Structure 1
Amino acid sequence: MRPGSQRIGTYNYVLGVRNWRSLLASVHNCTPWNSHRARLLEIGVFKGTIRLPLKKAINNAATPEHMSHQEAATKTPTTERPTNIADIPASLLQQIFCLLGPKDLVISSATCRAWAALLGDAASNLHWRRLYLLRWSLPASHPAAWPGSEGRGWQFAYSNKMSALSCWDAPIKANFMNGHGGAVKCVKLCPSLNLLVSGSVDRTVKLWDLSGGVFLQSSLLHGGTVRCVSADRGMLVSGGSDATIRCWWALPDGDAPNAACPFLLSGVQPVKLSGSTAHTGPITSLQLLEQHMYSGSWDMTVRCWQRTDRSLQPSAVWSYGDWVWSVAARGPRLLVAAGKDLFVQDATTGQLLTTIDGVFGGNGAALEATYNGQLAFTGGSNEQLLMHDLRAPSKSPQSCLTVWEGASNSTITGLSFEDPWLALSSSEGISTLLDLRDVLKKASRPQKLSSGKKAREPRRRLLGGDMPAVHTVDISDRWAACGTEEGVIRTWQSGIDGGCNGGSGGRGGHAARYRGASSTGSGAV
């Protein structure tokens, strides 16, 4: 299709976006609006298809406050009547594209070569980055450095992520790892490093080769049970019952004894965060971000640490009236599970935004949230998995849905979210994946949520059953893992035996990327 050629159905669909009023008002401030209004309304593909509310919105936004509609109409250029989509100014198209979701962007790039070229520039790449981070955490390496990205790094990353997560509908491979001398309390997957990190009642942190299921290293003994771990490409941290956070930084390239593993744990004393500026009770939750680390403890506080070059500096502390079970920083919000209540705070200032009372049973709390910070998932000894709408005003009743119910007297011990899959572990010895696509689609319309109602039970994929109590679970890309009471780590890998439509080359790869970007997830919320 040559540049500027028309695809009428697609064109009408793309320009039928929401938020037209705000879009047109913003363009009115920086462009000769009457000219653009004439072009949009006079292009032949719009005739007979534009809805009256949209036409009214265009006219209202295009008319200056000091000028009547009749005066504005007389000043509208009527020289040449454009009939080609190439006549729409690039500045106007760019602002339209920045309001579109993944599905609409894919359709737009297939409309004509001119639009495809416009969607390949730096501004569009930043928009894809924003869409990616609304659904998932930062990838371990910058997408621009990925082979095959061809200048569209974040679109490439988005497509690869959707391709990887679609593999959970395909056959999976199960494995297990033995080596801990007690119950495994925490696991963390790092697929980009081919590593799994685990912590146990035996007071050690262990590193495992993820794909091979082979033990790599073990730390020196902690002063108590290792209750939480977190890791990224730059550092690894653990928290234990001895109220101490231990830190290992990645070694520079060439200094690591094993090229495949950037951390050295065996026989090395880690940096310890303890004393007057640290926690005074068992550490229950750790989360590493690009510039910060959050830690929660049974000393009823959450602490924020500033990440600098190979050091962590305390920057803030917030107190609560009960034990802190879990901490999750998502988007602009910091979520804290303390006692039976969920506290929602501003992630930057720590200001309390709202409190949701009584969502946990009191004997433990599992907490997760979408990465845009709009929805939270909670579970505990009350046997229910609840989804909370955090977009509600602070003084209004929070909307929530019951997403899943466990067996009587069971406790939800762990949650891990990789949009659209929510991994869940339970004291009754199960580890399962919940497909939340339909639930998230319903949540995109807040008026459809009402407190206390039960959602249609999501599609489930049982990973493991008839196990001893499962204490923790994690999911990342094509991998899921859990830790059990018997000291065994179980892992699952999706997309085995060619059952996944992944890949970036050829016709099949293009179709997979198109289907992936068209899927509905929390990015639409």
Structure 2
Amino acid sequence: MAFKFSECGDSQVKKTLDEQAKMSSSERQDFCSALNNKSISKFDSMKLVPRSNSSSKAQHASNSDDPVEDPSSSWRRSITDLPQALLSEILCHLSAKELGVVSCVSTLLYNLASDHRGWKEFYCKRWGLPTLPLPTTTKQKTWKEMFLEREFRSNSYMGRFTMDVLRGHTEAVRSVFLLAEAKLIFTGGYDSVVRMWDMEDGLAISCSRSLNCTIRAVSADTQLLVAGGTGSFLHCWTPIQGHPHLFDIAGSFAATGHEFRLRGHEGPVTCIALDSVRIFSGSWDMSVRIWDRASRRCSQVLRHGDWVWSLVPRGSTVAVTAGGEAYVWNIEDGSRWAVISNSISGDACAMARTLGEDLIFTGSVDGSVRLFKLTGDGGGGGDAILVANWVAHTAAVQSLSFEYPWLVSCSSDGRVALIDVRKTVDSGGRRVEAALPPQRMLHGFACNLFSVAIGSDRICCGGEEGVVRVWNFSDAIAMEERVRALRGIRLENRMRRRKVQEEMLGRSGSSEQCSMAAKRNQIGGDRAWHRKRGVAAKTKA
């Protein structure tokens, strides 16, 4: 019998009753009450109704001796009766929260939702592919477990932390980059050197030779380290096989060919970014240059009308802030895909972007942080809609960094602000409520801050003091669990003491009543004895 989806309306009920004329009165009554039940859930309201055709009627007419099927088994169908392949396609259209809710409906949906490929898409859309290789054993974590673990760990930024202070620079620190894959921190500043630090221990590993210019930008991945500044060039290091810290920035190894420079800018380099095949650099010469990593040559130049302050590439587009405007360029054909203008007060000094390519954060000199959502297709152009505006600082925002769901900003007012994007927008980038103040402010600096970087459990920041501060939140969840355990123990002891006191009061209640009665009787008896004694003395007299 062929089936199709349809809503259970009044006309369908009448048609169904006509087709089920052979049913008994009690069965027909049960069937009508089941169809007219208003408490059916959303999924149960979608019924599988047989498609009436002549072949099926003829077959039923020829096979008149066949027993009549039970209407409760052949007519009341749920979504779980669909093929698993079709159910898997339906689950692809749900969000992470909806997928978790569906997994609580039944065992079948729980198994499908737990092993669904959508969890991998959710994970990669928020945090990218895992940095460490996935294990091949049978005990490896599923994408759902990895997603839930990372989501739970993101709450650690509201917990307790430890702070390390990295000292080594002799002048102000202009750029900080956190390479979580190798557990390294790279910094550069006015002292013209690039320093490498151990992220776990906070110890200095090595220092480069002087580049004879102020280092204003540093970026790295496991295959390349790039630094740029007022020298108008990009100084690059490639990894050395067998090196314990990937890059030999000090030049202590005898191997050659692991350092090179890219020249082409006519002004100071202010920002650098990397992807798998390209190097992006922005400069005060009002241009963004795109370099090919394989050939080490400039393949494209994007011209602007003002100084370039920040850039963030994602996929086939790159977002750039130049002056008081922000641009989104299509890398394939070099065209402007979107322009964000008249929404930024003053120069936009900082920019951050989500991995989903549709949300852009900008920080301006008025201390505000704005969130824009890109709309439109990737080919014909698009537009940017202002979604939220946070007044996070009292001075210019110098740097932004994003690690879902936390946006971190540092400013010239000496403070670091943490903003939870989930409080303002949902997973689709739609605004759910007014922009709230930053969920947390980190202090410790007494002067200007120039650069900030965030990882899965650490925040690094450098400024005019010449030191780098690292807030470590890796033990925040463990600390919170210990605090909750101690709080539970104290509560349990308090309840135990209260119970013992109540038992003691219950046992001593009867004895206290007897003692009080005895005291009353004793006092009353003494008075009666004295009274009787007085009467006898009078009688004798």
Name the TM-score class by shorter chain: 0.7 to 0.9
Distance 1:266 1:273, change over 3 A: closer
Is residue 425 from structure 1 mapped to residue 419 from structure 2 by the alignment? no
Counterpart position of 2:184: 195
* 1:432 and 1:464 in contact (8 A); partners too: no
Counterpart position of 1:337: 321
Counterpart position of 1:381: 365
CA distance in 2, matches of 1:187, 1:81: 65
CA distance in 2, matches of 1:222, 1:46: 80
Distance 1:202 1:442, change over 3 A: same
- Correspondent of 1:398 among 380, 385, 388: 385
The answer for unaligned runs of 5 or more in structure 2 is 10-15, 17-30, 58-68, 483-541
Counterpart position of 1:241: 230
Counterpart position of 1:150: 140
* 1:198 and 1:229 in contact (8 A); partners too: yes
Counterpart position of 1:460: 439
CA distance in 2, matches of 1:387, 1:350: 24
* 1:128 and 1:155 in contact (8 A); partners too: yes
Is residue 35 from structure 1 mapped to residue 3 from structure 2 by the alignment? yes
Q: CA deviation at 1:130?
A: 2.0
Q: TM-score, normalised by structure 1?
A: 0.73
* 2:374 and 2:384 in contact (8 A); partners too: no
After superposition, the CA RMSD in angstroms is 3.7
CA distance in 1, matches of 2:152, 2:43: 38
Where 2:328 maps in the other structure, the secondary structure is strand
- Which deviations, in whole Å up to 9, do the C-alpha atoms of 1:300-326 show, x marking residues without a partner? 111223344xx6443322111111111
Q: CA deviation at 1:405?
A: 4.4
Where 1:377 maps in the other structure, the secondary structure is strand
Where 1:378 maps in the other structure, the secondary structure is strand
Q: CA deviation at 1:108?
A: 3.5
* 2:406 and 2:418 in contact (8 A); partners too: yes
Write the letter of the residue equivalent to 1:202: D
Is residue 478 from structure 1 mapped to residue 457 from structure 2 by the alignment? yes
The answer for unaligned runs of 5 or more in structure 1 is 1-31, 63-69, 450-454, 503-525
- Which deviations, in whole Å up to 9, do the C-alpha atoms of 1:444-482 show, x marking residues without a partner? 436x79xxxxx4423421222452110011111110010
* 1:438 and 1:458 in contact (8 A); partners too: no
Q: CA deviation at 1:48?
A: 3.6
Distance 1:493 1:274, change over 3 A: same
Counterpart position of 2:498: none
- Structural mapping, 1:204-243, within 5 Å: 204-243=193-232
Distance 1:292 1:130, change over 3 A: farther
Q: CA deviation at 1:179?
A: 0.2
* 2:131 and 2:181 in contact (8 A); partners too: yes
Counterpart position of 1:350: 334
CA distance in 2, matches of 1:288, 1:348: 16
Distance 1:156 1:45, change over 3 A: farther
Counterpart position of 2:479: 499
Q: CA deviation at 1:499?
A: 2.9
Where 1:141 maps in the other structure, the secondary structure is coil
* 2:235 and 2:262 in contact (8 A); partners too: no
Where 1:477 maps in the other structure, the secondary structure is coil
Counterpart position of 2:261: 273
CA distance in 2, matches of 1:40, 1:190: 57
- Report % sequence identity: 27
Write the letter of the residue equivalent to 1:499: M
CA distance in 1, matches of 2:336, 2:474: 42
Where 1:220 maps in the other structure, the secondary structure is coil
Write the letter of the residue equivalent to 1:226: I
Counterpart position of 2:467: 488
Counterpart position of 1:173: 162
Counterpart position of 1:289: 275
Write the letter of the residue equivalent to 2:425: L
Where 1:192 maps in the other structure, the secondary structure is coil
Q: CA deviation at 1:51?
A: 8.5
CA distance in 2, matches of 1:429, 1:171: 20
- Which deviations, in whole Å up to 9, do the C-alpha atoms of 1:89-127 show, x marking residues without a partner? 112101111111112223344444433443465xx33x3
Counterpart position of 2:130: 139
CA distance in 2, matches of 1:372, 1:465: 33
- Correspondent of 1:436 among 418, 421, 443: 421
Is residue 94 from structure 1 mapped to residue 94 from structure 2 by the alignment? no
Write the letter of the residue equivalent to 2:132: S
Distance 1:341 1:375, change over 3 A: same
Distance 1:48 1:485, change over 3 A: same
* 1:283 and 1:297 in contact (8 A); partners too: yes
Where 1:415 maps in the other structure, the secondary structure is strand
CA distance in 2, matches of 1:489, 1:137: 27
- Correspondent of 2:171 among 182, 185, 197: 182
Counterpart position of 1:129: 120
> Which range moves more in the overlay, 111-120 or 380-389?
111-120
Counterpart position of 1:28: none
CA distance in 1, matches of 2:374, 2:301: 23
Q: CA deviation at 1:151?
A: 5.9
Distance 1:89 1:331, change over 3 A: same
Write the letter of the residue equivalent to 2:408: A
Counterpart position of 2:307: 323
CA distance in 2, matches of 1:328, 1:496: 31
CA distance in 2, matches of 1:273, 1:358: 38
Q: CA deviation at 1:328?
A: 0.9
Q: CA deviation at 1:397?
A: 7.5
Counterpart position of 2:21: none
CA distance in 2, matches of 1:163, 1:431: 23
Where 1:247 maps in the other structure, the secondary structure is strand
- Correspondent of 1:264 among 245, 248, 268: 248
The structure that has the greater radius of gyration is 2
* 1:38 and 1:77 in contact (8 A); partners too: no
Q: CA deviation at 1:426?
A: 0.5
CA distance in 2, matches of 1:40, 1:97: 23
